């Protein structure tokens, strides 16, 4: 975690952009008799500069310079170790780390162990450059975040993130509204097309089906009702006569007693 500076300044140098600081240092070292090659992102326009902002040459000297325009946080020892590695790869005879603020104690110890690395803090830088005019504020370029104070970068990103978040919310609401309207419109069009198809189908059925005239209904005469059949009568049983008739009595002799 980066440490806060013990003495935060608010002057012309602290308000200067990192691009202006690189340019000002290039002018200063030219005045010291160095041939200066400005390779930082301030002039190259690239996103990364390989850890070198200025290359200084004077006779047998070849010195690489890295600028850290940090006003709120101390420059850590990691920067010193990285520049030492770059110095070896470049075959440089020395290296300078310039900060508009402060260095940590471990960074100072790392530089002291290797005499090739010189640290220039905010106090030494102000004494080296002398009085500076108040600069006009300029927006920091996205390619120069490597040299900007991390605290200021987080503040900028936080504000930018809030603004971006609001923009995304508004855009999301707008997109959802448009999609809802498109959905409703498509449903309405679909219902309308379905109704048209139903009407066309009914019309086609009406045209295709032949018209059959209704057959006249013929009245069928009702059948006459048959006369009722009387129920059958039972036969009269013959009369049984008891005894003889008068004629039989006359013909039959009557025995005498």
* Distance of alpha carbon 84 from alpha carbon 96, whole angstroms: 10
Structural domain includes residue 94: yes
Let me know: does 67 contact 55? Beta carbons within 8 Å: no
Q: Which residues lie closer than 8 Å to 115 by C-beta, 6 or more apart?
A: none
Q: What mean pLDDT comes out for the span 187-208? A: 80
128-170: pLDDT as tens digits: 999 887 766 555 444 444 455 555 555 555 655 556 667 787 8
60 & 112 share domain: yes
Structural domain includes residue 242: no
Domain of 188 in residue numbering reads as 149-203
Determine the pLDDT at residue 133.
77
22 & 143 share domain: yes
Let me know: does 73 contact 151? Beta carbons within 8 Å: yes
Structural domain includes residue 36: yes
* Distance of alpha carbon 25 from alpha carbon 54, whole angstroms: 9
95 & 132 share domain: yes
- pLDDT-derived band at 246 (thresholds 50, 70, 90) equals low
143 & 196 share domain: no
The predicted model scores a pTM of: 0.53
24 & 87 share domain: yes
Determine the pLDDT at residue 257.
47
156 & 47 share domain: no
Burial level of 141, CB count in 10 A (0-12/13-18/19+)?
middle
Determine the pLDDT at residue 144.
46
Determine the pLDDT at residue 143.
45
For the chain, the domain total comes to 2
Structural domain includes residue 141: yes
169 & 136 share domain: no
For 23-68, where are the E strands, in sequence order? 35-38, 54-58, 61-68
Kindly report the CATH number assigned to the domain that includes residue 87. 3.40.1350.10
Q: Which residues lie closer than 8 Å to 1 by C-beta, 6 or more apart?
A: none
160-185: pLDDT as tens digits: 555 666 778 788 888 888 888 888 88
Q: What mean pLDDT comes out for the span 67-82? A: 92
SS3 category, 18: helix
* Distance of alpha carbon 97 from alpha carbon 152, whole angstroms: 20
Determine the pLDDT at residue 182.
85
Determine the pLDDT at residue 161.
59
**207: pLDDT strictly greater than 60:** yes
Structural domain includes residue 13: no
Closest CA to 68 of 139, 134, 152, 156: 152
Structural domain includes residue 9: no
Q: What mean pLDDT comes out for the span 211-239? A: 66
Closest CA to 18 of 57, 64, 55, 71: 71
What one-character DSSP code corresponds to residue 103? B
Residue 108 — φ and ψ, nearest 5°? -65, -40
70 & 170 share domain: no
Determine the pLDDT at residue 99.
94
């Amino acid at each position: 975690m980066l440490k806060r500076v013990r003495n935060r300044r608010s002057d012309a140098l602290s308000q200067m952009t990192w691009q202006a600081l690189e340019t000002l240092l290039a002018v200063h070292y030219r005045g010291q008799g160095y041939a200066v090659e400005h390779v930082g992102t301030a002039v190259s326009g690239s996103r990364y500069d390989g850890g070198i902002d200025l290359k200084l040459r004077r006779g047998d000297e070849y010195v690489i310079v890295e600028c850290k325009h940090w006003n709120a946080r101390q420059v850590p020892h990691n920067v010193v170790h990285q520049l030492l590695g770059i110095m070896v790869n470049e075959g440089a005879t020395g290296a300078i780390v310039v900060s508009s603020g402060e260095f940590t104690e471990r960074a100072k110890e790392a530089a002291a162990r290797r005499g090739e690395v010189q640290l220039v803090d905010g106090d030494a830088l102000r004494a080296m450059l002398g009085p500076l005019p108040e600069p006009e504020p300029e927006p920091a370029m996205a390619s120069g975040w490597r040299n900007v104070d991390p605290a200021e970068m987080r503040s900028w990103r936080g504000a930018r993130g809030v603004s971006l978040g609001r923009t995304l919310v508004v855009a999301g609401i707008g997109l959802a509204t448009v999609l809802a309207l498109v959905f409703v419109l498509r449903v309405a069009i679909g219902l309308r097309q379905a109704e048209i198809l139903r009407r066309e189908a009914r019309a086609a059925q009406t045209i295709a089906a032949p018209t059959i005239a209704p057959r006249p209904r013929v009245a069928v005469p009702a059948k006459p009702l048959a006369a009722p059949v009387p129920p059958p009568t039972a036969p009269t049983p013959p009369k049984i006569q008891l005894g003889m008739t008068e004629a039989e009595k006359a013909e039959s002799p009557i025995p005498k007693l």
